[in-house]
Structure 1
Amino acid sequence: MAAEPEICVLSNGRITANIASWGATITSLLVPDAQGDLADVVLGFDTLEPYLKGMAPYFGCIVGRVANRIKNGKFDLNGVEYSLPINNGPNSLHERKDGEYPSITFQYESKDGEEGYPGDVTVRATYSLPEATTLRLDMEAIPANKATPISLAQHTYWNLAGHNSGSILDHSIQIWAKHVTPVNENTIPTGEIMPVQDTPFDFTTEHKIGDRISDVPGGYDHNYVLDSGDEKNGLKHAAKLKDPSSSRTLDLWTDAPGMQFYTANYVNGITGKGGAVYGKHAGVCLETQGFPNAINQPNFPSVVVQPGAKYKHAMLFEFSA
């Protein structure tokens, strides 16, 4: 039996994360600026009720089995066609670990046929604070009896000026990717790997998010091919996000092949923490992942995991000011 959903606190005296056992969701993250002043840099709600009622556009949660879009909600695997519904919100069991730094692990048992996916899968997500201002997330999943696609993503909406500070269009970002996977009118990848050079998608050097967003119909909601970042401890440098007002910086490292860069284009008047109203572009998502619709695109890196094999996905969020 899963326990009643609750919010767990992970703190090392410098940063404090509130993480809900419902969807392993980051509901709050307090991070200092250069003067040591703390701000909550993630969009969310004060209580669990809005999350449980599905009022959040995936604020802070881990999305799976396969994050992002699968064309027509269908795929073939080993001669069987699978059809998927759209949404879910799993409960999680969790445990605290006593180690050299604070950490907490959430576990979820996904049953054969859940949301239409094949096979039983055990999913674990461990949040830890390995350094003074660093949050790490390690995700793993093990299919028990059938091959299945797995591509988990962490869906936090970041605003480094503070969750209640308005638009992130003045934030600047650098993304270590020379290519994106362009999409059709239904935002499904076409299968092409497109160079970003000389396009509004080029963040190989630092740019303000708002500088060219009007040249992208609907705003940024695209998968970047992480192909040019430095490596550290087996993780690639994916992105550097900066807020000019507070000087807070987030460096993101990962071992995933792609990253969805999403500028909260569909957030519209959601009342969040402390009565803050989140509008369009109130946050930015940096969701490292397998490529969207990879299960139907043979030229994309495979997201199929065989029984007994282990899916692993790490993210390192380094904050500075």
Structure 2
Amino acid sequence: MRKVFVTSSALSLACALPGAAFAADASQAPAGTLSNGSAVTAVTLKAANGISATILSFGATLWKLNAPDRDGKVADVLLSYDDLASFETHPNYWGATIGRYGNRIANGQFTLDGKTYQLPQNDHGQSLHGGGKGFDVQNWKVESVKSGPVATAVFSLVSPDGDAGYPGTVKAKVTYSLDEQGNLKIVFDATTDKPTVLNMTNHAIFNMAGEGSPRDATQDLLTIPASHYTPVSDKLIPTGELRDVSGTVFDFRKARLVAEGIRDGRDDQIVKGRGYDHNFALDKGVTKTPELAARLEDPVSGRVLELLTTEPGVQFYSGNFLDGTFIGKNGHVYRMGDGIALEPQKFPDAPNHPNFVSTRVDPGKPYQHVMIYRLSTASR
């Protein structure tokens, strides 16, 4: 494990000098011990503009994301736990790397090359986010931590053949990088030795007013450049249809408050999801480089999050199952709508829908998903 540190005085000097090479700092520190005795590491990446991200090796989890508002006041915009024990005893995917398969697979089953595979059924008979035994509850290896013009942290994990029912030994890697402008890039890489399915993403829960703010995330303005979404059954499994958003509460092609549609019981999809818990089929489709998938703005503080991805979809989840039983950071009780997730990915249950973009990965053809959280502020 290589560690590269920059002192605060050196960082300040580097940021002040034109063309200086060092503008982002990376450091690591112990974050506690899991019940099995393995040590968890916290890696912090800091940009010169006050934006910083802290990642835990447990779940390769984006734990904290600090961003200034238009007046320079910094707040953590991620819902999460304060203590490591809660991540183990009450896992909620918050900020975690999700795999092998982000989102739901119907009945926990899929067929590949004529063979049917059975996965853990951890969500009302469905398999969700790896079936409860996924990448989010594994302690990843910290491969490298480096400061520089772009601060980086690399985490790796080996998922053996048959892990949670999935075929193939998968070697996964997640690279977090923060540049001097405060753009946080996350790159998911993986290889397999047998045909398998993969759909990796990050499950951060945002409130751009700041975690624990009395102004919940439904007061944020949301834009999603998608003309269609995938309607779901009462078990939140896609029906296979790509439905036009025109004239519905699922039309976010122009920015509007999340709260405007979240209680519209006239739309059966809102009733089924208890709000928004739906995949949007991005107009851009699959792209070689990350393109805009969503924009989230708190109009009061001015904090803006832009999500870019190479994937064809984004799952918008409005925190519908936050029910006041979760005690998060700073002793805050999280309730419905206190945070929202925007998870870039291929479509839910894609292995069972031939018309969806394939999630198949074969030996010799590595998997990669590149996403970016771009933080900024909007003027009044």
TM bin (shorter chain): over 0.9
Q: Is the 8 A contact 1:178 1:228 kept in 2?
A: no
Contact 2:237 2:348 in 1 (8 A): yes
2:30 match: none
Question: Do the aligned residues in 2 keep the contact of 1:129 with 1:135 (CA within 8 Å)?
Answer: yes
Structure 2 counterpart of 1:162? 210
Equivalent in the alignment of 2:226 = 177
Q: CA deviation at 1:100?
A: 3.0
> Where does 1:114-193 land on structure 2 (aligned, <5 Å)?
114-143=163-192, 145-166=193-214, 167-193=216-242
- How far apart are the structure 1 equivalents of 2:58 and 2:231? 32
* C-alpha contact 1:176 1:238 (8 A) present in aligned 2: yes
Could you tell me how far apart the structure 2 residues matched to 1:276 and 1:56 are? Answer: 17
Superposed displacement of residue 134, structure 1: 1.3
User: Which residue number in structure 2 is paired with residue 66 of structure 1?
Assistant: 101
- Asked whether the equivalents of residues 191 and 367 of structure 2 are also in contact (C-alpha less than 8 Å), the reply is yes
More helix by share: 2
Structure 1 residue runs of 5 or longer lacking an equivalent are none
Task: Find 2:67's aligned residue among 31, 37, 42.
Answer: 31
Whole-angstrom distance in 2 between the partners of 1:8 and 1:97 = 10
Out of 296, 304, 310, the residue aligned to residue 352 of structure 2 is: 296
Instruction: After TM superposition, give the deviation of residue 23 of structure 1 in Å.
Output: 0.6
Separation of aligned partners in 1, 2:184 and 2:207: 16
Q: Deviations over 1:83-121 (max 9, x none)?
A: 001212111001213553111011000000000000100
Query: 268, 277, 285: which one pairs with 2:323?
Result: 268
Contact 1:97–1:105, Cα closer than 8 Å, also in 2 = no
Residues 97-116 of structure 1 aligned to structure 2 (within 5 Å): 97-116=146-165
Which residue is equivalent to 2:374? 318
- Same amino acid, percent of matched pairs: 40
Question: Which position in structure 2 is the counterpart of 1:201?
Answer: 250
The aligned counterpart of 1:41 is 77
Structure 2 counterpart of 1:9, one-letter code: T
How far the C-alpha of 1:138 sits from its partner, in A, is 0.6
Structure with the greater alpha carbon radius of gyration: 2
User: Amino acid of the residue matched to residue 148 of structure 1?
Assistant: T
Distance (Å, rounded) in 1 between the aligned partners of 2:103 and 2:290: 22
- Within the candidate set 249, 256, 261, 1:212 is matched to 261
Q: 1:5 aligns with which of 25, 34, 40?
A: 40
Q: Which amino acid aligns with 1:84?
A: L
Listed as ranges, the matches of 1:269-284 within 5 Å are 269=324, 270-284=326-340
Alignment RMSD, CA only? 1.6
2:308 aligns with: 253
Higher relative contact order (CA 8 A, sep 6+): 1
1:213 aligns to what SS in structure 2?
coil
* Aligned residue identity for 1:113: G
- TM-score under structure 2 normalisation? 0.81
8 Å Cα contact 2:149/2:180 also seen in 1: no
Alpha-carbon offset, residue 6 of structure 1: 2.1
Deviation at 1:131, TM superposition (A): 3.5
User: Secondary structure of the residue that 2:370 maps to in structure 1?
Assistant: strand
Letter in 2 for 1:23: G
- Number of residue equivalences: 317
SS in structure 2 opposite 1:169? helix
Rounded Cα–Cα distance in structure 2 between residues aligned with 1:157 and 1:211: 20
Q: Does structure 2 conserve the Cα–Cα contact (< 8 Å) formed by 1:105 and 1:127?
A: yes
Give the structure-1-normalised TM-score. Answer: 0.95
- Structure 1 residues 98 and 163, CA, compared in 2 at 3 Å: closer, same or farther? closer
Q: How many angstroms apart in 1 are the aligned matches of 2:249 and 2:81?
A: 33
